[in-house]
Amino acid sequence: MDKSPDAFRTISEVAEALDLPQHVLRFWETRFSQIKPLKRGGGRRYYRPADVDLLKGIRQLLYEQGYTIKGAQRLLKDNGIAFVVALGNGDIAAIDAITQKKKAEEEAENTPIPAKPQQSKGLFSFMKSDSDAEVGGSNIGKGKDNKTLLQEALFELIECKRVLDRAR
């Protein structure tokens, strides 16, 4: 009598289905943290259908496509479990969809968000309250380019140095 497709599988059933020795499955559990079979008393392993699908994908990467364990780990980390499962099942449409989604996310992350231009009130404006700056009519920074602002800051620094030199 065959099991239901949703039934848990023992390590011997999974090893037979994937044509792998049991010790390889145990080794993969140590190298791929995503493989988490249910362990019952006595250490007996029961693999969920999702675990079996993931193992199929890992087998595909290592044995069919020639990836190293480190390479397969990186692929799993970068693309996720769904990608490796789709690879193991040969689901080209799912692989394409996951790849397109990842590209779109990367493009969104790399798209710079335009910064709001901040209006400078001068180098020592932190010493004044907002009301003082408005009363004094300080319009420093409005309509000025970076070079002009840097020159003003330089002149303020030179003046500070002159004051400090006199105080010594």
Q: What is the CATH number of the domain that holds 32?
A: 1.10.1660.10
Decide: helix, strand or coil at residue 39: strand
- One pLDDT digit (tens) per residue for the chain, 168 residues: 578 878 899 999 999 999 999 999 999 999 999 999 998 888 898 999 999 999 999 999 999 999 999 999 998 998 889 888 988 888 888 888 888 888 888 777 777 766 655 555 555 554 455 544 444 444 554 556 777 777 777 777 877 877 788 887
Residue 138 lies in a domain: no
Residue 139 lies in a domain: no
In total, how many domains does the chain have? 1
Q: How many C-beta neighbours within 10 Å does residue 168 have? A: 4
Question: Where do the H-state alpha helices sit in 5-80?
Answer: 11-18, 22-31, 49-59, 69-79
Using CA atoms of 51, 55, 61, 67 in order, give the dihedral in degrees to the nearest 10: 100
d(CA 42, CA 139): 78
Task: List the beta bridge partners of residue 45.
Answer: 39
Residue 61 lies in a domain: yes
Q: How many C-beta neighbours within 10 Å does residue 19 have? A: 8
Residue 76 lies in a domain: yes
Residue 22 lies in a domain: yes
The predicted model scores a pTM of 0.60
Residue 166 lies in a domain: no
Range of the domain at 70: 1-109
Residue 117 lies in a domain: no
